[in-house]
Structure 1
């Protein structure tokens, strides 16, 4: 009855359009009252969920992304991508994918990627003769791919939910799958562009190429600082995030100088708004997760899924299917916090490494970002492109298939994920 009350009240509140964090909090208190749990224990769990040093990296990652987003980095990364790959058939679409890969390595946010890169490239693609639904499809699918490229605050959330899995190992584990997915999206983008005979990209004047490359690399060096500091062991994830944010501040306001210093107030306000939502979500999920453990939900789910089939591959397919299904109805961050304590024991019992599971989890849920009815990136992209969700969803089918194929590949070939973490010694 306790499980039914906890899960049922949560689903009911979601259907009543309560914010997810508030729905988790209210369902936790309702269930706690029913079970006779001291409510002060729930409060302590909420506070304890935020008492983690690794969570300090999240505000710095968000701040660095906001600074670079406001400071014109997306335009410079688009220009850099045009120099690298923009000359071939469908070049502007392939620039879109490449720019999202670069931007994902700075912001770690698929929604920020969609709004920043999409606001520039979707109208540009339309002027060059690309169909609206194709332009939006390329933008949102490549933006979802960007959350795999480190740094990613979603991986920090997973690290906390999984009980302290190495953030550095997760970053390195997501790098190769993220690049592999980007390459796969480039292939499907080119195939569709060639089939529809979309135009080649414009040639960049030779005299502008050194400046474009220099400006683009300056922005990308933010990700190099963060990843390099963690991998080398010279910085912790939190220290790397802080130094990355400081570097982003310096490059934006003293090198690029596209925006006045007064915009810093807007940047900080956006950062604090995002951070408040993330921390409230973590606190609420800590209480919710504690009640799940108290009611032995992870144990029940583990026993059920493992009894479904003795074959570990079938179990892993079930996990992936559940994550894909859940990703269509809930945002990524709350799902990481809810699904990790339930499905991680199942995955490890099936022989999956926690780092491997984390990368599979993030990729599965990133597909949900472009899947109706709750695809956040899909909504943003359709709003920018002024095209219906129904039409875009049909155009997204080849991209869905591509992303799912890559997901299955990394699920059943763990070395793709674990090679780099093992190479650097975790």
Structure 2
């Protein structure tokens, strides 16, 4: 991670306040839809036929008091028009007076009914109805505005946070900047990549304007926002390049300096160079524009990051660890407990990396306090978010079901439980056998159990606050807590938790081991949003460039070199596993899912691999990829939250080869065995 170097002062809200308002607006717009549905139901219950009262009734233009006899006479006296071709073709026919009278009588009756209905509706438009209607229509307009604004909110959020990540040197890289050479190489290539993004967006705008199709004002505004954002990003990186921070060591190695280049920069330079060589300079801009097609999904990613950062500001993680502390578990067993417990919040924060960012520091510090060696603590921290991605209501699974009609969320989450059990068992087995270096000497139950029950008590108010918000949405808005409502419920839940802590801890400070000094609601929310801005900028920019790399793979027709179907599902699965793990190494999860859906998935289906089986393999393979060198994204995120010094100290520890590289090898063994079992055992039953 590139981190530090930009002093956060009282002006920090200049970046985080707009991000906070944008995220709150997303929650507001999505919640307003639930409120509107309830208001329509409430209006129907209060005033039957409320849907007719939502707009002022239009007065009928017909005359209910017309003379029927005179109207019949006029109709019978009318001659067919000379220029009427039908009359000339069929010839004049005499009108039946009875039919004419019947038609006019029905018309008059309909007219009287329309006037009566108009009078009834006008009489029912009481001041109460008008006031209720005004609020309901305002919320309806708010929903329409929110849906229309999603794309603009996403662009502004990504660009604002990307600039913040650049100024704070917070982009995701293989190693931190330590020397002046690291800094110069990294910022020079960042500036070049940002200028390439700006140029591609400008070319894409000009080609869109010059195309045969007419560009709408909304599309033009979107283009202008991208261009403005990339211009600001280029200036930000140029500013950081010129203003070299003090404290950097002189000199440096060029090979190490290239490792300090952010991953998004590398992806941008690769994809930009490829598109330029094939004469498609607007390629990056086009693929970044595809993010707008899934704007709600990427905004949900931002909300999950925000939820994770608010979780980091609370005492929840420490209080949960306090429950297990009385048992005096050996480090290996505590690592297993930490990873298993972390699976649930991981499912609610959308992706493994987000949870590592949110709770990784607490997990690492608690394991170290329990006596865990650095390598074990780093391994457990990196893997803390890997098991929960298959559990409800993980956003990644929802995206898979959205993009692939062959599977549903219920099917994926149903089988995900069994995959979770398997991966949890494998991790437990590796941690307690291969990895075991401590004696199992648990505290007596007679002493540990009462202390454990005592430690549960502080968690009860949190459970009540969470249950209160969930029940409020359930009964007031008819919204259940599931994978579709989680993105808008979780921010409200975490805000309620922060409010509870603000009230309960206002006049006292945490004194228990590991508790934070709660500094109030505003400071906690500001701290969470400060962290969120940089993380959203790093993650979403990386995700967007992952989509661009997917475009390179798609346009280069690499996948066409493979057979489009295999005679053997076993051979196809072997190839799928290799490809999916490699994609997990080099691409963000959401970008990789989009690419896999367009390419690899069709080959798997055609080769006889069941869609549910394929996507379960994909999820496990991705997690193995995030833990695998050379990139190992979850390890990079772990290094960010625990600090470079701790990782360097772990690397200097002595011992066997396994002990010196335990943080890398242990997760690979657990997830590698799990992947082999998930991929090939089901084939025995249906292939």
Indicate the TM-score class for this superposition, using the shorter chain for normalisation: 0.7 to 0.9
CA 1:209–1:388 in 2, change beyond 3 Å: closer, same or farther? Answer: same
Which of 661, 664, 669 pairs up with 1:401? 669
2:380 corresponds to 1:138: yes
Distance 1:356 1:290 in 2: 26
Distance 1:132 1:276 in 2: 29
User: Helix, strand or coil for the counterpart of 1:203?
Assistant: helix
Are 1:122 and 1:136, in contact at CA under 8 Å, matched by a contact in 2?
A: yes
1:360 aligned partner: 617
1:410 aligned partner: 678
Which of 399, 406, 431 pairs up with 1:189? 431
Are 1:90 and 1:199, in contact at CA under 8 Å, matched by a contact in 2?
A: no
2:499 aligned partner: 253
- Residue 211 (structure 1) shift: 0.8
For structure 1, the residue ranges without an aligned partner over 5 or more in a row are 1-13, 416-426
1:312 aligned partner: 569
User: Aligned pairs, how many?
Assistant: 392
2:442 aligned partner: 200
CA 1:86–1:367 in 2, change beyond 3 Å: closer, same or farther? Answer: farther
Are 1:46 and 1:284, in contact at CA under 8 Å, matched by a contact in 2?
A: yes
Higher relative contact order (CA 8 A, sep 6+): 1
1:11 aligned partner: none
CA 1:284–1:209 in 2, change beyond 3 Å: closer, same or farther? Answer: closer
User: Helix, strand or coil for the counterpart of 2:457?
Assistant: helix
- Residue 354 (structure 1) shift: 4.0
1:102 aligned partner: 344
For structure 2, the residue ranges without an aligned partner over 5 or more in a row are 1-256, 506-517
1:345 aligned partner: 602
Are 2:335 and 2:380, in contact at CA under 8 Å, matched by a contact in 1?
A: yes
2:322 corresponds to 1:75: no
CA 1:55–1:398 in 2, change beyond 3 Å: closer, same or farther? Answer: closer
- Residue 87 (structure 1) shift: 6.0
- Residue 186 (structure 1) shift: 2.5
Distance 1:134 1:166 in 2: 37
1:372 aligned partner: 629
1:269 aligned partner: 530
Stretch deviating more after TM superposition (23-32 or 65-74): 23-32
CA 1:247–1:411 in 2, change beyond 3 Å: closer, same or farther? Answer: same
Q: How does 1:11-410 map to 2 (within 5 A)?
A: 19-37=262-280, 39=282, 43-52=285-294, 53-80=296-323, 91-114=333-356, 117-155=359-397, 158=400, 166=408, 170-191=412-433, 196-200=438-442, 203=448, 205=451, 208-212=454-458, 214=460, 217=463, 237-255=483-501, 258-262=518-522, 263-290=524-551, 292-303=553-564, 306=565, 310-328=567-585, 332-379=589-636, 380=638, 383=644, 384=646, 386-388=649-651, 391-394=659-662, 397-410=665-678
Are 2:559 and 2:599, in contact at CA under 8 Å, matched by a contact in 1?
A: yes
Distance 1:337 1:146 in 2: 21
1:3 aligned partner: none
Are 2:329 and 2:442, in contact at CA under 8 Å, matched by a contact in 1?
A: yes
- Residue 314 (structure 1) shift: 2.1
CA 1:363–1:242 in 2, change beyond 3 Å: closer, same or farther? Answer: same
Distance 1:76 1:239 in 2: 27
User: Helix, strand or coil for the counterpart of 2:677?
Assistant: helix
Distance 1:127 1:268 in 2: 28
- Residue 200 (structure 1) shift: 2.4
Are 1:332 and 1:369, in contact at CA under 8 Å, matched by a contact in 2?
A: no
User: Helix, strand or coil for the counterpart of 2:494?
Assistant: helix
Are 1:330 and 1:374, in contact at CA under 8 Å, matched by a contact in 2?
A: no
- Residue 404 (structure 1) shift: 1.8
Distance 2:430 2:622 in 1: 21
Distance 2:372 2:586 in 1: 30
CA 1:340–1:153 in 2, change beyond 3 Å: closer, same or farther? Answer: same
Distance 2:466 2:438 in 1: 33
Distance 1:414 1:134 in 2: 32
CA 1:290–1:160 in 2, change beyond 3 Å: closer, same or farther? Answer: farther
TM norm structure 1: 0.73
- Residue 162 (structure 1) shift: 5.6
Are 2:323 and 2:453, in contact at CA under 8 Å, matched by a contact in 1?
A: no
Map Cα deviations across residues 125-181 of structure 1 (whole Å, 9 max, x no partner).
445444332333333334332434444344456557668965565455434322431
- Residue 188 (structure 1) shift: 3.1
CA 1:194–1:254 in 2, change beyond 3 Å: closer, same or farther? Answer: same
- Residue 42 (structure 1) shift: 5.9
Stretch deviating more after TM superposition (93-102 or 120-129): 120-129
Are 1:102 and 1:220, in contact at CA under 8 Å, matched by a contact in 2?
A: no
Distance 1:173 1:219 in 2: 31
Distance 1:75 1:47 in 2: 41
Are 1:76 and 1:216, in contact at CA under 8 Å, matched by a contact in 2?
A: no
User: Helix, strand or coil for the counterpart of 1:317?
Assistant: helix
2:32 aligned partner: none
Greater radius of gyration (CA): 2
